[in-house]
Amino acid sequence: MRHSPFIILLVCLLTTTGAMAQNEEDVLRYSTPQIIGTARYVGMAGAYGAIGADFSSISTNPAGLGLYKKSEFTITPSINFSNTESAYQGTTMDDGRNRFALGNVGVVLTGAPANRLDRSPVVNYQAAFGLNRLKDFNSRTIIKGVNNESSLLDTYLDYAGSKNPESLNRFDTRPAFDTYLIDTLIGVSPFTYVNAYSYLGGFTSALQQKSIETKGSMNEVVLSGAVNLNDKIYLGLTFGFPYFRYERTSVYKEFNQTEGRDLDNFTVRENLETKGSGFNMKFGAIVKATPQLRLGAAFHTPTWFNNITDKWSTSTRSEFTNSDAYSAQSPLGEFEYDIKTPWRASASAAYLLGRIGLVSADYEYVDYTSARLRPSVDFSEQNEVIRDNFAQTHNFRVGAEFFVGMMQVRGGYAYQMSPFSSDVNDGMVQMVSGGLGYRNADFFIDAALAYSFSDMTNYLYSSYNYSAAADVKYSNYNFMLTLGFRFD
């Protein structure tokens, strides 16, 4: 199947070993929040836009704050189990990470007018502040298999071209040159490179292995306000201050499988650390269309991350069959840039089943083509790829809650479309969840378990060689417990 030049560029920027430049991968990473929050919210798969009276609604539909009748303190600890399974050249590997985290913590304060003799529509009003977790970056992936068609060193030859060795990239091709993984032919002009497999017949087979470990999270400090008008219309506003820390360590190893070659093995290690913070606003409304039916709508502005800093480095080591070994360390790279994430709009509905329970559904529209890397003059090529190859997506969430005395039983399903408009990659995410709860007038406790899963293609070094493509399945189990206390 033939792909457009922009699609080829997109995959190269997202997956090439050694490419630490800022690209579309960064935009997607910080533009796709997960369904994390209180146990009640997660237990219904985030289908909560028209229900309200839950702290997680502050980061989804802030009008839900308007349904609070009493003040409240809530905290949600959680345990996350992330797993990956890779298939590469007929070999399957699995790995994962476990982590304790804080889903959210916050306070809601309610108040009411001193009197309503003037027939004011304001029944009460609310203010809230706290912290909501938006995304967990913790994962570990290992990919392994024997490749009989291509090597990472082929990619290095493409990168080197006919450049002078002094002009080679300090993070990939220059370390490869310094460790004799690539070299120039003596007396040939312009510069012509060969790799360490070139002697005695060239590359035939290699055992390739890549491990990728990521750490960090994205959280959002929220300041919110809402108003209840005649117990029929609820309006809310949230000022969000998200911040994140992301770390990635990838180690690529290649072992020569053919006897008689000078090269025995080599290792390339890459380290990336990214930190940033930003600002956004969220507007929402909920209307009681009938005593049983609630309708909601919300709009999220883009998040403007204005001070993202990347720091990265690489190290390379080669070992030869004559026992020679060479090492090279890159300098520490550092770059500052901005990201504007996509805006979002959602519509929701919830139907109350009296004392039995409720059912709800949310629809969300996200325009990934509107995301941008800044300053535009430095990222014109990447932004063109975003416009041409990202998609306008439609996400769906459904949930239900049933009452059994003072207990509640919950379940939900969420579907998030792939952000890609072409078949470059998948990226679709699905989630199923369930939970239990207990509530009285002054205290509540909720528990939830959510299982999410997705597939992606990981290219070990270059999309031009489809033999370097691994299919990776991601699965995640998230268990959380919410404790809440109400007060006047």
- What integer pLDDT is reported at residue 472 of this predicted model? 94
Quote the pLDDT of residue 11: 43
Superfamily grouping for domain 5-487:
Outer membrane protein transport protein (OMPP1/FadL/TodX) (2.40.160.60)
Which tokens sit at 420? 């890609």
3-state secondary structure of 209: strand
The rounded percent of the chain whose pLDDT value lies above 90 is 78
DSSP string, 35-71: S-S-HHHHHTTT--TTT--SGGGGGT-GGGGGG--SE
Q: Which pLDDT tens digit goes with each residue over 375-387? A: 877 888 889 988 9
Residue 190 CB partners (closer than 8 Å, separation 6+): 162
pLDDT value, residue 377: 77
pLDDT at 424: 54
In tens, the pLDDT along 229-276 reads 999 999 999 999 999 999 999 999 999 998 777 899 999 999 999 999
Residue 465's pLDDT is: 67
- List the one residue out of 104, 59, 97 whose CA is nearest residue 475: 97
Q: Residue written as tokens 């990168």?
A: 159
Q: Which residue has the higher pLDDT, 1 or 86?
A: 86
Query: Please, are residues 236 and 65 in contact by the beta-carbon 8 Å criterion?
Result: yes
Q: What is the mean pLDDT of the chain?
A: 91
The contacts of residue 380 (CB under 8 Å, 6+ apart) are none
Cis peptide before 190 (omega within 30 of 0): yes
Residue 16, pLDDT > 70, answer no
Residue 120 pLDDT: 83
- Residue-wise pLDDT for 117-149, tens only, equals 667 899 999 999 999 999 999 999 999 999 999
Task: For residue range 180-225, list pLDDT tens digits in order.
Answer: 999 999 888 899 999 998 876 788 899 999 999 999 999 999 999 9
Over residues 451-486, the pLDDT tens digits come to 999 998 888 987 666 788 999 999 999 999 999 999
For the stretch 388-446, pLDDT in tens is: 889 999 999 999 999 998 999 999 999 999 998 865 567 789 999 999 999 998 999 99
Does residue 116 register a pLDDT over 70?
no
Mean pLDDT of 145-168: 94
pLDDT at 302 over 50: yes
What is the pLDDT confidence band of residue 14, given thresholds at 50, 70 and 90?
very low
**What pLDDT, on the 0 to 100 scale, is given for residue 200?**
67
Place of tokens 């219904």: 44
